[in-house]
Amino acid sequence: MCWFFKKRNKNKEMEKQSTRNEEHKIVSNPRVNDPNRFMESGIKKSYDKDETPDIDTQVKKFDWPGSEPKQNDEGNKQKNQETPKNTAVLKESEKKEIKEPKKVQAKATVKPKTVDKTPIKTSNGKYLGKYEIYPEAGYFKFRLKASNGEILAVSFPYTSEKGAFSGIETFKKNVDSGKFEIYTDKSNYSQFILMNSSGARTIIVGEFYNNVKQAQSAVESVKKFYASEKIEVLSKISEADIREELAELEKVIESTTGKYEIYEENKNYYIKLKANNAQVLFVSQGYASKASAKQGLETIKKAIAENRFTVGKDKQNRYQFNLYSSTNQLILTGETYPIKTSCVSAINSVRKFALKAKVIEK
Protein backbone atom coordinates (compact mmCIF):
# COMPACT_ATOMS: atom_id res chain seq x y z
CA MET A 1 0.00 0.00 0.00
CA CYS A 2 2.93 2.38 0.55
CA TRP A 3 3.92 2.28 -3.04
CA PHE A 4 0.40 3.28 -4.05
CA PHE A 5 0.36 6.40 -1.94
CA LYS A 6 3.81 7.36 -3.10
CA LYS A 7 2.82 7.05 -6.74
CA ARG A 8 -0.35 9.12 -6.19
CA ASN A 9 1.64 11.85 -4.45
CA LYS A 10 4.12 11.90 -7.27
CA ASN A 11 1.34 12.35 -9.84
CA LYS A 12 -0.04 15.26 -7.86
CA GLU A 13 3.37 16.91 -7.82
CA MET A 14 3.68 16.47 -11.57
CA GLU A 15 0.25 18.09 -12.13
CA LYS A 16 1.25 21.04 -9.97
CA GLN A 17 4.49 21.42 -11.89
CA SER A 18 2.60 21.26 -15.15
CA THR A 19 0.20 23.94 -13.91
CA ARG A 20 3.07 26.23 -12.93
CA ASN A 21 4.65 25.85 -16.35
CA GLU A 22 1.38 26.77 -18.03
CA GLU A 23 1.15 30.00 -16.03
CA HIS A 24 4.40 31.23 -17.67
CA LYS A 25 2.73 31.08 -21.06
CA ILE A 26 -0.31 33.14 -21.98
CA VAL A 27 -2.49 31.56 -24.56
CA SER A 28 -5.06 34.39 -24.82
CA ASN A 29 -5.28 38.13 -24.15
CA PRO A 30 -5.19 39.38 -20.53
CA ARG A 31 -8.57 40.07 -19.10
CA VAL A 32 -10.15 43.30 -17.99
CA ASN A 33 -12.64 43.94 -15.24
CA ASP A 34 -15.32 42.26 -17.26
CA PRO A 35 -14.23 38.59 -17.50
CA ASN A 36 -16.31 38.13 -20.61
CA ARG A 37 -14.71 41.06 -22.51
CA PHE A 38 -11.19 41.20 -23.86
CA MET A 39 -9.09 44.31 -24.66
CA GLU A 40 -8.68 45.41 -28.23
CA SER A 41 -6.12 43.88 -30.44
CA GLY A 42 -3.62 46.71 -30.00
CA ILE A 43 -1.81 44.56 -27.35
CA LYS A 44 0.33 41.53 -28.18
CA LYS A 45 -1.33 38.25 -27.44
CA SER A 46 1.60 37.02 -25.44
CA TYR A 47 4.61 38.58 -23.74
CA ASP A 48 7.40 37.39 -21.62
CA LYS A 49 7.82 38.27 -18.03
CA ASP A 50 10.42 41.02 -18.67
CA GLU A 51 8.78 42.50 -21.76
CA THR A 52 6.72 45.70 -21.84
CA PRO A 53 3.70 45.39 -24.04
CA ASP A 54 3.39 47.83 -27.00
CA ILE A 55 0.17 49.69 -26.56
CA ASP A 56 -1.50 51.70 -29.31
CA THR A 57 -2.00 55.09 -27.70
CA GLN A 58 -4.63 56.20 -30.18
CA VAL A 59 -7.96 56.35 -28.43
CA LYS A 60 -11.10 55.74 -30.34
CA LYS A 61 -13.91 58.17 -29.82
CA PHE A 62 -17.28 56.94 -28.71
CA ASP A 63 -20.51 58.80 -29.00
CA TRP A 64 -22.16 58.18 -25.69
CA PRO A 65 -25.67 59.47 -25.48
CA GLY A 66 -26.01 62.58 -23.26
CA SER A 67 -22.28 63.08 -22.78
CA GLU A 68 -19.23 64.46 -24.58
CA PRO A 69 -16.32 62.27 -25.57
CA LYS A 70 -13.50 62.17 -23.08
CA GLN A 71 -10.15 63.62 -24.05
CA ASN A 72 -6.91 61.85 -23.42
CA ASP A 73 -4.49 62.98 -20.78
CA GLU A 74 -2.30 64.81 -23.25
CA GLY A 75 -5.29 66.80 -24.57
CA ASN A 76 -6.39 67.64 -21.07
CA LYS A 77 -2.85 68.66 -20.18
CA GLN A 78 -2.67 70.94 -23.22
CA LYS A 79 -6.05 72.46 -22.35
CA ASN A 80 -4.95 73.05 -18.79
CA GLN A 81 -1.81 74.74 -20.06
CA GLU A 82 -3.75 77.02 -22.40
CA THR A 83 -6.32 78.13 -19.82
CA PRO A 84 -3.91 80.05 -17.60
CA LYS A 85 -2.45 81.72 -20.70
CA ASN A 86 -5.86 82.89 -21.86
CA THR A 87 -6.68 84.02 -18.34
CA ALA A 88 -3.44 85.98 -18.18
CA VAL A 89 -4.25 87.70 -21.46
CA LEU A 90 -7.70 88.59 -20.15
CA LYS A 91 -6.25 90.05 -17.00
CA GLU A 92 -3.75 92.05 -19.00
CA SER A 93 -6.60 93.41 -21.09
CA GLU A 94 -8.47 94.31 -17.92
CA LYS A 95 -5.38 96.12 -16.66
CA LYS A 96 -5.23 98.15 -19.86
CA GLU A 97 -8.85 99.10 -19.39
CA ILE A 98 -8.05 100.28 -15.87
CA LYS A 99 -4.83 102.07 -16.74
CA GLU A 100 -6.14 103.58 -19.93
CA PRO A 101 -9.65 104.91 -19.27
CA LYS A 102 -11.73 105.93 -22.18
CA LYS A 103 -10.95 109.41 -23.38
CA VAL A 104 -13.92 111.69 -23.03
CA GLN A 105 -14.18 114.01 -25.94
CA ALA A 106 -13.87 117.57 -24.70
CA LYS A 107 -16.81 119.81 -25.36
CA ALA A 108 -16.23 122.37 -28.00
CA THR A 109 -15.42 125.75 -26.46
CA VAL A 110 -17.81 128.40 -27.62
CA LYS A 111 -15.91 131.55 -28.30
CA PRO A 112 -17.63 134.65 -27.09
CA LYS A 113 -18.86 136.87 -29.82
CA THR A 114 -16.85 140.02 -30.16
CA VAL A 115 -18.54 143.29 -30.88
CA ASP A 116 -17.19 145.02 -33.93
CA LYS A 117 -16.67 148.64 -32.95
CA THR A 118 -15.57 149.71 -36.41
CA PRO A 119 -17.63 152.73 -37.49
CA ILE A 120 -20.26 151.88 -40.11
CA LYS A 121 -20.24 153.82 -43.36
CA THR A 122 -23.15 154.49 -45.67
CA SER A 123 -23.03 154.07 -49.45
CA ASN A 124 -21.99 157.72 -49.90
CA GLY A 125 -18.98 157.26 -47.58
CA LYS A 126 -20.47 158.90 -44.47
CA TYR A 127 -20.28 157.23 -41.09
CA LEU A 128 -23.61 156.02 -39.72
CA GLY A 129 -24.28 157.80 -36.42
CA LYS A 130 -27.39 159.58 -35.13
CA TYR A 131 -28.68 162.46 -33.02
CA GLU A 132 -31.22 162.11 -30.21
CA ILE A 133 -33.29 164.98 -28.78
CA TYR A 134 -34.68 164.40 -25.30
CA PRO A 135 -35.94 166.24 -22.16
CA GLU A 136 -33.64 166.60 -19.14
CA ALA A 137 -33.63 168.82 -16.02
CA GLY A 138 -36.55 170.88 -17.30
CA TYR A 139 -34.94 171.62 -20.69
CA PHE A 140 -34.28 169.92 -24.03
CA LYS A 141 -30.92 168.59 -25.16
CA PHE A 142 -29.41 166.70 -28.06
CA ARG A 143 -26.64 164.13 -28.04
CA LEU A 144 -24.52 162.57 -30.77
CA LYS A 145 -24.15 158.79 -30.83
CA ALA A 146 -21.75 156.61 -32.80
CA SER A 147 -22.93 153.54 -34.74
CA ASN A 148 -22.10 151.30 -31.74
CA GLY A 149 -24.28 153.40 -29.39
CA GLU A 150 -21.44 155.26 -27.68
CA ILE A 151 -22.35 158.82 -26.64
CA LEU A 152 -19.82 161.21 -28.15
CA ALA A 153 -21.17 164.65 -27.14
CA VAL A 154 -24.04 166.15 -25.15
CA SER A 155 -25.37 169.65 -25.82
CA PHE A 156 -26.26 172.50 -23.50
CA PRO A 157 -29.92 172.87 -22.49
CA TYR A 158 -32.49 174.51 -24.75
CA THR A 159 -35.82 175.92 -23.68
CA SER A 160 -37.70 174.10 -26.48
CA GLU A 161 -37.46 171.09 -28.76
CA LYS A 162 -37.20 173.45 -31.75
CA GLY A 163 -34.18 175.10 -30.13
CA ALA A 164 -32.50 171.67 -29.87
CA PHE A 165 -33.02 171.11 -33.62
CA SER A 166 -31.38 174.49 -34.32
CA GLY A 167 -28.56 173.60 -31.94
CA ILE A 168 -27.74 170.50 -34.05
CA GLU A 169 -27.25 172.67 -37.16
CA THR A 170 -25.06 175.11 -35.20
CA PHE A 171 -23.02 172.19 -33.90
CA LYS A 172 -22.44 170.80 -37.41
CA LYS A 173 -21.26 174.16 -38.76
CA ASN A 174 -18.77 174.65 -35.94
CA VAL A 175 -17.29 171.13 -36.26
CA ASP A 176 -16.33 172.26 -39.77
CA SER A 177 -15.25 175.85 -39.02
CA GLY A 178 -14.64 175.97 -35.25
CA LYS A 179 -11.77 174.64 -33.17
CA PHE A 180 -11.38 171.90 -30.57
CA GLU A 181 -9.44 172.44 -27.35
CA ILE A 182 -8.42 169.88 -24.73
CA TYR A 183 -8.90 170.89 -21.11
CA THR A 184 -7.31 168.96 -18.20
CA ASP A 185 -8.47 169.62 -14.63
CA LYS A 186 -6.46 169.38 -11.39
CA SER A 187 -7.36 165.67 -11.10
CA ASN A 188 -5.73 165.08 -14.51
CA TYR A 189 -9.01 164.21 -16.26
CA SER A 190 -9.28 165.60 -19.79
CA GLN A 191 -12.18 166.65 -22.01
CA PHE A 192 -12.57 168.36 -25.36
CA ILE A 193 -14.28 171.73 -25.79
CA LEU A 194 -15.63 172.87 -29.15
CA MET A 195 -15.39 176.65 -29.62
CA ASN A 196 -16.64 178.82 -32.48
CA SER A 197 -14.09 180.11 -34.99
CA SER A 198 -13.31 183.24 -32.90
CA GLY A 199 -12.99 181.25 -29.65
CA ALA A 200 -15.52 183.55 -27.95
CA ARG A 201 -18.30 180.98 -27.56
CA THR A 202 -18.41 177.41 -26.31
CA ILE A 203 -20.51 175.23 -28.60
CA ILE A 204 -20.28 171.90 -26.80
CA VAL A 205 -18.10 170.03 -24.30
CA GLY A 206 -17.22 166.36 -24.34
CA GLU A 207 -17.02 163.68 -21.68
CA PHE A 208 -14.15 163.55 -19.21
CA TYR A 209 -11.48 160.98 -20.09
CA ASN A 210 -8.58 159.51 -18.15
CA ASN A 211 -5.95 161.22 -20.27
CA VAL A 212 -5.39 163.67 -23.12
CA LYS A 213 -4.96 160.93 -25.72
CA GLN A 214 -8.44 159.54 -25.06
CA ALA A 215 -9.96 163.02 -25.29
CA GLN A 216 -8.22 163.56 -28.64
CA SER A 217 -9.54 160.21 -29.86
CA ALA A 218 -13.06 161.35 -28.91
CA VAL A 219 -12.58 164.47 -31.08
CA GLU A 220 -11.76 162.26 -34.08
CA SER A 221 -14.89 160.20 -33.43
CA VAL A 222 -17.04 163.36 -33.38
CA LYS A 223 -15.57 164.38 -36.74
CA LYS A 224 -16.52 160.99 -38.20
CA PHE A 225 -20.17 160.98 -37.09
CA TYR A 226 -21.29 164.63 -36.82
CA ALA A 227 -22.57 164.80 -40.43
CA SER A 228 -25.31 162.24 -39.76
CA GLU A 229 -28.76 163.35 -40.89
CA LYS A 230 -30.63 160.91 -38.67
CA ILE A 231 -32.44 162.61 -35.75
CA GLU A 232 -34.67 160.81 -33.25
CA VAL A 233 -36.93 162.56 -30.69
CA LEU A 234 -37.28 160.71 -27.36
CA SER A 235 -40.02 161.30 -24.79
CA LYS A 236 -37.62 160.32 -21.97
CA ILE A 237 -34.32 158.60 -21.28
CA SER A 238 -33.30 155.99 -18.71
CA GLU A 239 -31.94 157.06 -15.32
CA ALA A 240 -28.55 155.62 -16.24
CA ASP A 241 -28.38 158.05 -19.20
CA ILE A 242 -29.24 161.18 -17.21
CA ARG A 243 -26.19 163.44 -17.30
CA GLU A 244 -27.40 166.64 -15.64
CA GLU A 245 -29.79 167.74 -12.93
CA LEU A 246 -30.68 170.92 -11.07
CA ALA A 247 -28.57 171.56 -8.01
CA GLU A 248 -30.23 171.77 -4.58
CA LEU A 249 -28.48 174.70 -2.90
CA GLU A 250 -28.39 175.90 0.68
CA LYS A 251 -27.92 179.36 2.14
CA VAL A 252 -24.32 180.60 2.37
CA ILE A 253 -22.65 183.56 4.10
CA GLU A 254 -20.65 185.51 1.55
CA SER A 255 -16.96 186.12 2.28
CA THR A 256 -14.53 188.84 1.18
CA THR A 257 -11.44 186.61 1.54
CA GLY A 258 -11.62 185.08 -1.95
CA LYS A 259 -9.88 186.44 -5.05
CA TYR A 260 -10.01 186.39 -8.84
CA GLU A 261 -6.87 186.13 -10.94
CA ILE A 262 -6.87 187.26 -14.58
CA TYR A 263 -3.81 185.90 -16.36
CA GLU A 264 -2.50 185.18 -19.84
CA GLU A 265 -1.60 181.72 -21.08
CA ASN A 266 -0.94 180.57 -24.65
CA LYS A 267 -2.10 183.96 -26.01
CA ASN A 268 -5.47 183.68 -24.24
CA TYR A 269 -6.74 185.22 -21.01
CA TYR A 270 -8.32 183.21 -18.25
CA ILE A 271 -10.16 183.87 -14.99
CA LYS A 272 -9.39 181.80 -11.89
CA LEU A 273 -11.31 181.95 -8.59
CA LYS A 274 -9.50 180.98 -5.39
CA ALA A 275 -10.83 180.46 -1.85
CA ASN A 276 -9.15 181.96 1.25
CA ASN A 277 -6.92 178.86 1.56
CA ALA A 278 -5.75 179.29 -2.09
CA GLN A 279 -7.88 176.36 -3.26
CA VAL A 280 -8.86 176.76 -6.94
CA LEU A 281 -12.65 176.74 -7.28
CA PHE A 282 -12.91 177.16 -11.06
CA VAL A 283 -11.03 178.28 -14.19
CA SER A 284 -12.92 180.04 -16.99
CA GLN A 285 -12.73 179.47 -20.71
CA GLY A 286 -10.12 181.38 -22.68
CA TYR A 287 -10.72 184.96 -23.88
CA ALA A 288 -9.01 186.67 -26.78
CA SER A 289 -8.09 189.80 -24.75
CA LYS A 290 -7.91 191.05 -21.20
CA ALA A 291 -10.85 193.38 -21.85
CA SER A 292 -13.06 190.52 -23.00
CA ALA A 293 -11.95 188.55 -19.94
CA LYS A 294 -13.08 191.40 -17.63
CA GLN A 295 -16.43 191.53 -19.44
CA GLY A 296 -16.73 187.77 -19.09
CA LEU A 297 -16.14 188.08 -15.36
CA GLU A 298 -19.20 190.30 -14.97
CA THR A 299 -21.30 187.72 -16.84
CA ILE A 300 -19.99 185.00 -14.52
CA LYS A 301 -20.79 186.96 -11.35
CA LYS A 302 -24.32 187.66 -12.58
CA ALA A 303 -25.01 183.96 -13.26
CA ILE A 304 -23.64 183.04 -9.82
CA ALA A 305 -25.92 185.57 -8.16
CA GLU A 306 -28.91 183.96 -9.98
CA ASN A 307 -27.78 180.46 -8.87
CA ARG A 308 -27.78 179.14 -12.42
CA PHE A 309 -25.90 175.99 -11.44
CA THR A 310 -26.49 172.39 -12.46
CA VAL A 311 -24.76 169.16 -11.44
CA GLY A 312 -23.40 167.16 -14.35
CA LYS A 313 -22.39 163.48 -14.39
CA ASP A 314 -20.26 161.75 -17.02
CA LYS A 315 -20.36 158.11 -18.10
CA GLN A 316 -17.68 157.27 -15.53
CA ASN A 317 -19.98 158.58 -12.73
CA ARG A 318 -17.78 161.58 -12.01
CA TYR A 319 -19.51 164.84 -11.07
CA GLN A 320 -18.86 168.48 -11.95
CA PHE A 321 -20.91 171.65 -11.75
CA ASN A 322 -21.97 173.74 -14.76
CA LEU A 323 -22.79 177.47 -14.75
CA TYR A 324 -25.12 178.87 -17.45
CA SER A 325 -25.92 182.39 -18.58
CA SER A 326 -29.45 183.76 -18.75
CA THR A 327 -29.54 182.67 -22.41
CA ASN A 328 -28.60 179.08 -21.42
CA GLN A 329 -25.08 179.40 -22.72
CA LEU A 330 -22.48 177.45 -20.77
CA ILE A 331 -20.16 179.94 -19.08
CA LEU A 332 -17.88 177.59 -17.13
CA THR A 333 -17.53 174.14 -15.64
CA GLY A 334 -16.02 173.12 -12.32
CA GLU A 335 -13.51 170.42 -11.38
CA THR A 336 -14.45 166.73 -11.34
CA TYR A 337 -15.47 165.01 -8.10
CA PRO A 338 -15.99 161.33 -7.29
CA ILE A 339 -19.28 161.89 -5.42
CA LYS A 340 -22.21 164.25 -5.87
CA THR A 341 -22.04 165.78 -2.37
CA SER A 342 -18.50 167.00 -3.03
CA CYS A 343 -19.68 168.65 -6.22
CA VAL A 344 -22.54 170.44 -4.42
CA SER A 345 -20.11 171.54 -1.70
CA ALA A 346 -17.89 173.08 -4.40
CA ILE A 347 -20.90 175.04 -5.75
CA ASN A 348 -21.56 176.45 -2.27
CA SER A 349 -17.90 177.46 -1.96
CA VAL A 350 -18.13 179.36 -5.28
CA ARG A 351 -21.27 181.16 -4.06
CA LYS A 352 -19.52 182.03 -0.80
CA PHE A 353 -16.39 183.64 -2.29
CA ALA A 354 -17.32 184.75 -5.85
CA LEU A 355 -19.50 187.85 -5.33
CA LYS A 356 -17.18 189.78 -2.96
CA ALA A 357 -13.76 188.49 -4.13
CA LYS A 358 -11.13 191.04 -5.17
CA VAL A 359 -9.68 190.97 -8.71
CA ILE A 360 -5.95 190.64 -9.35
CA GLU A 361 -4.54 191.15 -12.85
CA LYS A 362 -1.30 189.40 -13.75
CA distance 218 to 204: 13
Distance CA(268)–CA(290), nearest Å, equals 8
Residues 6+ apart with CB under 8 A from 269: 262, 263, 286, 287, 288, 289, 290, 292, 293
Span 151-207, pLDDT tens digits: 999 998 999 999 999 999 999 999 999 999 998 887 888 989 999 988 878 899 888
Kindly report the three-state secondary structure assignment for every residue of 173-201.
HHHHHCEEEEEECCCCCEEEEEECCCCCC
- Measured CA to CA, the distance from residue 67 to residue 99 in angstroms comes to 43
Which residues lie across from 319 on neighbouring strands? 313, 337
The pLDDT tens digits of the residues spanning 279-335 come to 999 999 889 899 999 999 999 999 999 999 999 988 888 899 999 998 888 898 888
pLDDT digits (tens, 9 = 90+) for 67-103: 444 455 555 445 455 444 444 444 454 544 445 555 5
Distances (CA, A) of 331 to 8, 201, 322: 172, 9, 8
Alpha-carbon gap, residue 61 to 69, rounded angstroms: 6
307 Cβ contact list (under 8 Å, min separation 6):
247, 249, 351
Domain parsing of the chain, residue ranges: 130-241, 244-361
Q: What pLDDT is attached to residue 29?
A: 46
Closest CA to 178 of 203, 155, 201, 196: 196
Least confident among 14-23, 35-44, 216-225, 226-235: 35-44
Percent of the chain with pLDDT over 70: 65
* Distances in whole angstroms, Cα of residue 7 to Cα of each of 14, 16, 20, 48, 51: 11, 14, 20, 34, 39
Residue whose C-alpha is closest to residue 202's, from 161, 174, 225, 228: 174
Strands 179-184 and 190-195: antiparallel
Is the CATH code 2.30.29.80 the one for domain 130-241? yes
- Tell me the H-state helices in the chain: 2-23, 73-99, 161-177, 212-225, 290-305, 340-353
* Residue closest to 150 by CA, chosen among 222, 49, 70, 232: 222
Among the four given CATH numbers 2.30.29.30, 2.30.29.80, 3.30.70.2740, 2.130.10.10, the one describing domain 244-361: 2.30.29.80
CA distance 274 to 186: 13
What separation, in Å, do the N-terminal and C-terminal C-alpha atoms of the chain show?
A: 190
